[in-house]
Every structure is written in C-alpha cells, then in structure tokens.
A and B are shown apart, each in its own frame.
Chain A
Amino acid sequence: MVHCSGNYPTVLKSLPLWGTNFCLVYSGQAEHQEEVKMKKSVLLGALAVTGLAAGMASAGTLDDVKARGSLNCGVTTGLVGFAAPDANGEWQGFDVAVCRAVAAAVLGDSSAVEFVPTTGKTRFTALASGEIDMLARNTTWTFSRDVDLKFEFAGVNYYDGQGFMVPADLGVTSASELDGATVCIQTGTTTELNLADFFSANGISYEPVPIETNAEAQPLYLEGACDVYTTDASGLLATRAAFENPEDHVVLPEIISKEPLGPLVRHGDNGWGDIVRWTLNALIAAEELGVNLGNLDSIAGETKNQEIKRLLGAEGTLGEMLGLDAEWAKRAIAVGGNYGEVFDANIGPDTAIGVERGLNAQWTDGGLLYTPPFR
C-alpha cells in the first residue's frame, strides 16, 4: 500500500532543471544541442562550473541502452498476467514479454532488463524524464498522449476496452443499473475520464474513489469500500483471477471505451521508436507466418517464404537498417515465442486469467492484428 510515497521524486524528476534531463537525449537535435552548449559555455566560462554540464550531450536511446548494458522498461506495479514478479522475483507477463523481446533484440539478452514499476500516475513522468527507455504498461494510445504529452506509440499489443466488475451477489446485470454506486478507479488513467463520460452520458451519478495502484484497489473492492471496480477488461479479468473466489464476481457485459494498449517511447528518437515498433511487429508477424519456438532454428533454412527469411535475418539487411544485427528478430522471438505463444502462456484461455483472443486474433482469423510487411 505504500507505493504512493514514491511519486514525489518522479514528479520532480520530470522538471528538466538539470542538464541530464530528457530534452537533450534526442539524437535528432544534435545541431541544436551544439548551439545550446556554445551559449552555455559562454555563460559559464567565468564561473568555471562546466562540470555541471556534463552528461548534457547524450547519444540516442539505443546507444544509451547499449552502453548501459540493460534496458530500463516501465511496467505496472503488479498485475498478474501482464506484469508481475513471480515466486522467484522474476518479472513475468504479457507486457513484460515486450520488454524482454526488445532487450533480446538490442542486447542479445532477454534478462538484461531493469523493470521499473510505475503507477498510472507516475508512468508518463518516468518516461518523459528518461528514467525508463520504454513503457509497456497497459497504456492506452490516445490522441493527447501521442500529440500533447509527446510520446510515440510503437503499436498495439492488446486491443481492449473498459469494463466493470461487481460482486455477483449485488444482482447487477448491466452498467446502466449502477446509479449511485461507489466506484474504485485508478487515477491518472483513461479509465477515470471514460467513467466520467459514461455516467454523465447516461445521466446517472456515482461516487469515485481514486486509487493509485491495482494492489490498493483490490482490498478496497473486496472489503466493499466500493461497489464496483472499473478498468480495462483485461485488467479486470487478471485482477479477478487473483481473487480467492473469482466466481463470486462478475464482469458486466458493457465495454464503454476503446483501449488500444501498447508500448511507447519518447517523441524525438525515431530510431529507437522503430526498434520497439518492429520488435513488436516481429512477434506478431512470426505468428502470422507460422514461425514459433519449435521451428525457429530450422524454418529459415527450409522455407521458400522470403518474408520469413527477411524476418529471421537469413536474407536482406533489415536488422542493419535498424542499427542492429541480422538476428535481432530471431532473438526477440526466441524469448517467449511469437505473439500467440506469448499470449497463451501469460493470459490465454489455459491460464487462470483465461482471456480469449477475440479482437487480438490475427487479421486472417478475424481479429485486428495486422502487421505491415517486413520488406
């Protein structure tokens, strides 16, 4: 419950008072930086404190990650199935898999990831301030996050929508019956805004109980401090699966929003954005092309499909174009398999969470997953 105390430093870190801050890690602005540095040295020459300016000129994120030897990846504070440490303290989950795939592609080591737990509130400051290199935390791609908050969404790894969960014994069957209910919501999320819209559109009232993390919301909901818990439907299923008696709770049929969830990076470093985007695409394409953990090593040699060869680096120079080596995608897939394998292992029908593919099936199976071609 004490996670909240961690907010303040992150908020403050977002204030780019210090030279090492986010704005100057953009490689695309080298000229501009030179100019900045010039002026600065004029200003500071007399004061002889140029030491302070060290770390200002920073290379691209890729170089930073390589130099550091590990990827700083922002994840949730704990949502089983998506991102949570297992019994051995190893982070596991559907979002974690994206981080690991990127680490494998870039560093050749899927365990070279520093997982940084973020709350709905702290995640954007953590990313903007450079504390993390990428964020994979059930984050909805919205216009204002993309344009105004200046982030770059690398794609969608889960098509979701907001739902409601209530105790079964309340006898509620539809969200329109929730007039006057007390609703637990995580602050700093799209959930909060959708909820306000939904209730005003339906002309019914509610009492919001703002909460910082999923872990705090659970006991409040179970003790009955709120009647309803609302968040992304996937999150509800994952949360419910962790309950002692999951069958005592129902997820209402209404889905009140579109929540395309995906990994994101800062605006400005397009090269890094490309790496994250195409690592995700590689996992999705692998499933479409029938590349899986079983045939990963052999298929490139056997297949006649040129796209598979390009994807796995047997042909072409895709890796080089990204600034990586030829086998980047192969390593990313080797971590946990293709998209479908990652899905099944973490949140699929055979897990406690039991999510059906639904919208997240390949376009060839009537879903929305459709990666641009690898060529």
Chain B
Amino acid sequence: MATFSDVPSESFRLSMLINDKRYRAYTFQFIALLLLIGAFSYLGYNLVKNLQSAGLNISYKFLGDPAGYDINQRLIEYDNQSTHWRASLVGVLNTLLVAFLGCITATIIGVVVGVLRLSNNWIVSKLMSVYVEIFRNVPVLIWILIIMAVFTSVLPQPRDFRGANATASMVADSFAFTGRGFYSPAPIFNDGSMVVVVAFILSIAGMFYYRRYAKKALFERGQMLPTFWPSIGILLIPSILVFFVMGQPISLEYPALKGFNFQGGIYMRASLISLWFALSIYTAAFIAENVRAGILSVSSGQSEAAASLGLRPNRIMNLVVLPQALRVIIPPLISHFLNLTKNSSLAIAVGYMDLTGTLGGITLNQTGRAIETVLLLMAFYLTISLSISAIMNVYNNSMKLKER
C-alpha cells in the first residue's frame, strides 16, 4: 500500500495514455468507441445522402394512405380502403395470434416429449429422440411448406362436400375439415349472455381459490383434499345453471356450405393451422431438449428421496423434479419463444398475412418505401420480442430459488 500511495501525486503526462497500464485500457476503449461512432455515422450519412440523391426522403406519410389491398384473416375491422397503418396492425395481431398459439402448444408438446424422452420404456424414449432429431434438424420453412402441402392435398376441398354424391361430409353436422381450413360452430352472444360470461369468469376465480385452499389445507393440516373433480365442478356447474336460468342466451352458429365456401361459424384458415402446427412442433423439439436437460439437472437423490417417502412417479415428477427443473428450463424457454415469434415471419410462404406479409410485404411493395417499412418492421418485432422477454423474466424471477 505504501508504495502505491504516492502514485496519484505524480503529475499526469500524455504518454501515460499509452505507457501506463492504468490508462491504456481506457485509451483503447476510447479509440474503439470513436471508430464505432465513425463507422456508424459514415453509414448513416451515406444512407441519408444516397436517399437524397435518389430523391427518396424518409417519410411515413404513406401509412395514412388507403392500402388498397384485402387481407383474408382480420382480427380487427379492415377493408381495402383502410390505411396502410391499419393493415400493419392487422398484421401485428396475426403475428401475435400465431405466436401466442404456437408458444402454448410448443410448450405443451415440448414438456411432454422432454419427459417421455427420459422414459424407461425403450420404444417411447427412442421415438421421442427420433422426433426431436428430425424436427430440430430440418429448417422450419421446409416444415411449414410440407405441412401446408399435405394439408391442402390430403383434406377434401369445399367442392367435395357439394352435390348428391359428395365425397366428403361434415363431422356431426357442425365441423368441416377442408383443405382450406377448419370450420366449427361459433357462439352467438344474445341478450343476457353477459351474465353467463361473468358467472364463468367468477367460476374460474373460484376454482383457483379452491385449489389454494386445498394446498393450504395440505401444508397446514396435512389434510389431502381432492382437487380434480371439485375444480371441474366449480368451473362448470354454476355457469351451466346460470345459462339455463337466463334462458339459454348463448346459441351456436353452424357453418354451412353456401356457394363456393362454407359460411358462418368459426373459420381457421389452412395457412394459420399449418403455420401454427409447424412452428409448434419445430420449437417443441428444442423445448423438449431443454426440459430433458432441466430434469437431468435435478440430482437423482431428490427423486430417490421422494420415492422413499412413498410418492408415486408422476407425483415425484410434478411435485419434486419439475419445480426444481423449471429454474433451469425457463431461461432458454424465453429464447425459444422469441425464436418462434420471429420464425412466424416465414408466414408468407403459406400466404398467412402476418406483419411481414402486410407491412413488410404488400405495403412495402406497393408503396416502394423499403427503408421506412423495414425500420418499422424492426421496431415492431423488437417491441414484441422485448415484451415477451419482460413477461417471461417476471415469471422467471418468481420461479427463482428464493434464498431464505
């Protein structure tokens, strides 16, 4: 210490920026920073200059102009006279829809496969390895295209449902599975249906409350209450009662073949289904590997201990292994969700009008505003991805080992 104490008193010389170990690192970092700033300003300057000399100025005015094209799947009101901005929003919602559905199914499939891959049953575990390897090692675009091609060529088209000698028919008169997508009955909410909906939401809350209560009873009094059947009862019985008391305010609209297509009911397009399915099984293969790694990270002593307490294998998995494994599983899960969301931009391959298809596809093409749309596209995907990360991080923090 004593030898160092007189160092600051030594006067600062410029050469010390290079020769003195204490400053040298800063010097180089500073130079690197300058170079970086220089490189970026060069690119930015070039961009602006080039744009100017081509007579293209960055302007987002086109977003207010009528788009002029139609979009098949619209979650919000939209027609061809709506603005490009509105078309982008339709695209964002379509992206979010397929990403949301995809993340859920990918997680479910991934967890099941990951667990089964560790099964003691040789056939099951080998089958799962084959699944993982096949789906993980073929590009997702190929899967999307294959699934769409199989979908449209294997399933009957609406015209096969027509006429006296139709080759295809609806399932239970209410579902139609066609190469253009699935049609199912849609609920129609009439007067008084709000009461039923509210009753149902309250039932959901009631179910969770009951489960909390049952857990508490188990922890505090060691009393094991049944959960499965009571949960279902709480969930359904009040709603069904209210439904009949209110005079059946919710009815169903059935799809029916009219003209070229089925009309009415809920229509899930072939493009959505194949994209959703392809993204799910592809991402699930990665998730399955994570789940397997997570489970293997829990030391076998844990499950042996649980087994010696007399727990049955699936309880060991649910109560002992998975909760601990989750800490290992969640962080990479976040990045799989992000990947799935970004992979959904391959949607145009099957004609699904996601954000890349509307804003980054038709709008870009019809307006020629490549830079503006691509920047906006980046901003949208960045926002979506960061939001997913944020949400998942909150969940991750709540699952983290709480140190006492």
A54 beta carbon closer than 8 Å to chain B = no
Known: A15-B47, A121-B365, A211-B351. A1 touches B149 (CB 8 A): yes
Chain B residue numbers with a CB within 8 Å of A17 are 43, 46-47
- Binary per-residue interface labels of chain B (190-216) against chain A in the complex, 1 for a CB within 8 Å, 0 otherwise: 000000000000000000000000000
Taking a contact as CB atoms under 8 Å apart, the answer to whether A187 and B141 are in contact is: no
A150 beta carbon closer than 8 Å to chain B = yes
A21 beta carbon closer than 8 Å to chain B = yes
- Binary per-residue interface labels of chain B (333-362) against chain A in the complex, 1 for a CB within 8 Å, 0 otherwise: 000000000000010110101000100111
Minimum Cβ distance to chain B for residue A215 (Å): 12
Docked complex Cα distance between A145 and B365 (Å)? 10
- Binary per-residue interface labels of chain B (246-282) against chain A in the complex, 1 for a CB within 8 Å, 0 otherwise: 0000000000001111010000001100000000000
Chain A residue numbers with a CB within 8 Å of B53 are 23-24, 26, 29, 32-33, 36
Chain B residue numbers with a CB within 8 Å of A26 are 53-54
Q: Which of A1-59 contact B (CB under 8 A)?
A: 1-2, 4-5, 7, 11-12, 14-19, 21-24, 26, 29, 32-33, 36, 40, 43-44, 46-47, 49, 52
Q: Which of A91-143 contact B (CB under 8 A)?
A: 120-121, 124-125, 128
Chain B residue numbers with a CB within 8 Å of A36 are 49, 53
Taking a contact as CB atoms under 8 Å apart, the answer to whether A192 and B270 are in contact is: no
Chain A residue numbers with a CB within 8 Å of B72 are 207-210
- Our pick among B35, B51, B258 for the contact of A16 (Cβ within 8 Å) is B51
A289 beta carbon closer than 8 Å to chain B = no
Main SS of chain B's interface residues? helix
B86 beta carbon closer than 8 Å to chain A = no
Docked complex Cα distance between A206 and B263 (Å)? 12
A302 beta carbon closer than 8 Å to chain B = no
Q: Which residue of A lies closest to B367 (CB)?
A: A148
Q: Which residue of A lies closest to B153 (CB)?
A: A223
Taking a contact as CB atoms under 8 Å apart, the answer to whether B258 and A2 are in contact is: no
Taking a contact as CB atoms under 8 Å apart, the answer to whether B42 and A43 are in contact is: yes
Q: Which of B134-179 contact A (CB under 8 A)?
A: 141-142, 145, 149, 152-153, 157-160, 179
Q: Which residue of B lies closest to A4 (CB)?
A: B349
B84 beta carbon closer than 8 Å to chain A = no
- Our pick among B46, B55, B259 for the contact of A19 (Cβ within 8 Å) is B46
B38 beta carbon closer than 8 Å to chain A = yes
**Could you tell me how many residues of chain A have their Cβ less than 8 Å away from some Cβ of chain B?**
69
Docked complex Cα distance between A196 and B46 (Å)? 39
Taking a contact as CB atoms under 8 Å apart, the answer to whether A180 and B259 are in contact is: yes
Chain A residue numbers with a CB within 8 Å of B117 are none
Taking a contact as CB atoms under 8 Å apart, the answer to whether A181 and B47 are in contact is: no
Docked complex Cα distance between A128 and B55 (Å)? 12
Chain B residue numbers with a CB within 8 Å of A124 are 365, 368
A-binding segment of B2-10, B63-71, B297-305: B63-71
Taking a contact as CB atoms under 8 Å apart, the answer to whether B79 and A180 are in contact is: no
- Binary per-residue interface labels of chain A (206-227) against chain B in the complex, 1 for a CB within 8 Å, 0 otherwise: 1111111000000110011101
Minimum Cβ distance to chain B for residue A343 (Å): 29
B57 beta carbon closer than 8 Å to chain A = no
Docked complex Cα distance between A195 and B180 (Å)? 20
Taking a contact as CB atoms under 8 Å apart, the answer to whether B45 and A225 are in contact is: no
- Our pick among A23, A46, A195, A206 for the contact of B54 (Cβ within 8 Å) is A23
Chain B residue numbers with a CB within 8 Å of A33 are 53
Minimum Cβ distance to chain A for residue B202 (Å): 39
Known: A16-B51, A180-B259. A223 touches B42 (CB 8 A): no
Docked complex Cα distance between A155 and B228 (Å)? 74
Q: Which residue of B lies closest to A206 (CB)?
A: B70
Known: A21-B50, A187-B365. A223 touches B157 (CB 8 A): yes
Q: List 21 A-B contacts (CB under 8 A).
A: A2-B142, A7-B348, A12-B374, A17-B46, A18-B43, A44-B42, A47-B42, A52-B42, A121-B361, A125-B370, A178-B260, A181-B259, A182-B180, A187-B348, A187-B361, A193-B69, A196-B70, A197-B80, A206-B70, A208-B72, A212-B348
A179 beta carbon closer than 8 Å to chain B = yes
Taking a contact as CB atoms under 8 Å apart, the answer to whether B80 and A196 are in contact is: yes
Docked complex Cα distance between A192 and B353 (Å)? 14
A200 beta carbon closer than 8 Å to chain B = yes
B311 beta carbon closer than 8 Å to chain A = no
Taking a contact as CB atoms under 8 Å apart, the answer to whether B55 and A150 are in contact is: yes
A188 beta carbon closer than 8 Å to chain B = yes
B56 beta carbon closer than 8 Å to chain A = yes
Known: A24-B50, A220-B152. A11 touches B374 (CB 8 A): yes
Chain A residue numbers with a CB within 8 Å of B179 are 223-225
B121 beta carbon closer than 8 Å to chain A = no
- Our pick among B41, B79, B346, B351 for the contact of A209 (Cβ within 8 Å) is B351
A149 beta carbon closer than 8 Å to chain B = yes
Docked complex Cα distance between A181 and B79 (Å)? 17
B366 beta carbon closer than 8 Å to chain A = yes
B364 beta carbon closer than 8 Å to chain A = yes
Taking a contact as CB atoms under 8 Å apart, the answer to whether A180 and B261 are in contact is: yes
B384 beta carbon closer than 8 Å to chain A = no
Chain A residue numbers with a CB within 8 Å of B270 are 225
Known: A196-B69, A223-B152, A225-B180. A11 touches B370 (CB 8 A): yes
Q: Which residue of B lies closest to A188 (CB)?
A: B365
Docked complex Cα distance between A180 and B270 (Å)? 17
Taking a contact as CB atoms under 8 Å apart, the answer to whether B357 and A210 are in contact is: yes
